[in-house]
Amino acid sequence: MVRISGDDGPLGTLRTLFLDHQLAISAALLLILFTTHIFLPDVRQTTRTFFELSYHDPVTDTYTQGWDDLPYVAFWVVVFVGIRILLMDYLLKPLALLGGIHKKKAIIRFQEQAFILIYPIIFWSLGMYIMYNSKYWLNLRELWTNFPNRSMSSTLKWYYLVQLAYWIQQIIVVNIEEKRKDYAQMFTHHIITSALVIMSYAYYQTKVGNVILCIMDIIDILLPAAKLLRYLGYQTACDIAFGVFMVTWFFSRHILFPMVCWSIYAHVPSTMPYGCYDSVSGAQVSTPLNSLSASSPDVPAEWTNAILPNIMQSFLDPGGVVCFNPRIRFAFLGLLLSLEAIMLLWFVTIANIAWKVIRGNSADDSRSDDEESDEEEDVETDSAEKVQKDRCASTGTSIPSIGIPLEEEVGVEDLHLDRRRGARVHVRRSAAAAANGRGAATRTTRDRKELLGRIGCDGPS
C-alpha cells in the first residue's frame, strides 16, 4: 500500500499502523464480536444489532429506523475495510500482473480503480432492482406519496445502511492513505454524500434516495472501467469507454437528475402537503394554519418550522410527530440544485476533453499519473546523467553543453499513442529542450489529467 509521507508524530504512527494492518485489524474486530456473541449469551441482544437488521415488524415483515442501526453500519464499515484489502492484495494485484502491469504505483492504481468498479456494479444493480420493483419506477410523483412512510423492506434497508457504511469507509481511506492533490474535494464529497444518505434515511425519503443513488452510481462504473482499459494498454477501448461515459453523464446528471429536482418543485406541494404528521399512522395532525391542533398538543410551536429536528425525528423522537415545511423543501432543493450546478461545470470540461479526442488526441488518466510520471522522469534523468558523467570522467572530457538524450514519458498531446496492448511510447529529447518545454507541456497535460480524478466522485479507494 502507499505510505503516508510527511506525517510524523503519534497520529502518523497510528495511521501507518492501521494502514499496514487493515486486514488483521478487521479480522480481529469481527472475531471479537462473534466470539462474544457465541460465548456470552447475556449480551447477545446487544451484539445481535451489529450483524442483524433491527426494528423488524413481524406483522408486516418490514423494518423501521432507529439508533440500533448504527452498530449495523459500524459492522459493515469494518467488513468493507477487510474486504477491500483482501480483494486488492489477493485478487486484483495478481490480475494487474497478469495484465502486464509491473510498476508499483501503476499496480496500486489498478487495484484502486478495480475495487471502485466492483462496488458500484453490485450496488447500482441492486438499486435498479429495488427501483424497478417499486411503485415509483418511472413515476416521479410516487416518490412523495405516503409521507411519512416508516416501513421499508429488508432489501431496501440493507441497501441503504450498507451504502452509508461504504461512504464512511471511504472517509477513513482518504485519511489514512497518501493524500493526493484532490484530497479536499474527495473528503468533502464523502462527508456530503454520507450526510445526505443519513438525512434521507432519517426523514423517510428512501424512495428518492434510491433514485438519486442509482443516477449517480452508473458514472462510478464507467469511469473506472475506462481507466482500467488505459492501464491495460487498450487505448482505443479507453477512448470509446470515455465517449460512453460522457453520453451517460449528460443523460443521467443533466436530464434525469434535474427531473428529480423539478419534481420537488412541481409535485411535492400537491402530493406531500405542508404540516405535521403522526410518524406511526401517517395521519396529518396539523397544517401550517393550525400548527398546534387538538390532536397533537405536545408539538412545540418552534418544531413545525424547524429543519434538523424534523429531518432527524426518527432518531430523536421515534414514533412521535414529524413536520414538513417550506424550509425543509427548499433546503433539499437548494442542495440538489447546487450539486447540479457543480456537475454542469464539470461537464463543460468533459466536453472540452471530448473535443480534443475527436481532433486526434486520447482521453488521459487521472491525477495520480502526474505524481508518478514526475517521479519516474527524475529517476530516468538522474540515471542518464550519471552514465554520462561516468563516461566523461573516464575519458577526461566535460559534459557537452547541448545535453544528453533523455527518455521521458510525455502527455498525449505530444504523442500518437500505439494502440497495441501494453505499448509504451517514449520520446527522445535533449536535456536543454526538455528543460525549456517541460513546464508548458506539463501544465497543459495536468489540466486534463486532474479532471478524471474529480468527476464521478472518484476517490482513492
181-226 pLDDT, tens digit per residue, is 777 777 887 888 898 899 999 999 999 999 999 999 999 999 999 9
Is 122 in the same domain as 50? yes
Looking at the fold, whether 183 and 237 belong to one and the same domain comes out as yes
Domain check: are 179 and 127 in the same one?
Answer: yes
1 part of a folded domain: no
| Domain assignment present for 210 | yes
pLDDT, one tens digit per residue, over 362-413 is 555 444 444 444 444 443 344 444 445 554 555 555 444 434 333 333 333 3
**Model confidence over 42-54: pLDDT tens digits?**
999 999 999 999 9
Q: How many domains does the chain have?
A: 3
Predicted confidence at residue 171, as pLDDT, reads 92
Residues 63 and 190 in one domain: yes
Do the domain assignments include residue 195? yes
Q: Check whether residue 119 and residue 191 sit in a common domain.
A: yes
- Please state, for a pLDDT cut of 70, what percent of the chain lies above it: 72
Q: Is 397 left (phi over 0), alpha (psi -120 to 50) or beta?
A: beta
- Contact indicator for 277, 322 with CB cutoff of 8 Å: yes
Question: Do 191 and 73 belong together in one domain?
Answer: yes
Check residue 288 and give its pLDDT: 66
Same domain? For 186 and 308 the reply is no
Statement to judge: residues 356 and 251 lie in one domain: yes
Position 3 in a domain? no
Is pLDDT at 75 greater than 60 in this prediction? yes
Is residue 257 domain-shared with residue 398, that is, in the same domain? no
C-alpha distances in Å from residue 212, one per residue of 130, 327, 422, 452:
13, 21, 37, 21
Assign 449 a pLDDT band (cuts: 50, 70, 90).
Answer: low
Least confident of 24-28, 58-62, 427-431: 427-431
Q: In this structure, is residue 64 part of a structural domain?
A: yes
Would the pLDDT of 17 be above 50? yes
Give domain status of residue 2, yes or no.
no
Domain containing 290 equals: 275-324
Grid cell, residue 404, equals: 544528453
Residue 92 — very low, low, confident or very high, per pLDDT cuts 50/70/90?
very high
> Do the beta carbons of residue 116 and residue 220 sit within 8 Å?
yes
Residue 345: pLDDT band by 50, 70, 90 thresholds?
A: confident
Q: Is 461 within the bounds of a domain?
A: no
Residues 391, 416, single domain; the answer is yes
> Quick one: 99 and 236 in the same domain?
yes
Does 318 reside within a domain?
yes
336 shares a domain with 211: yes
CB atoms within 10 A of CB 349: 16
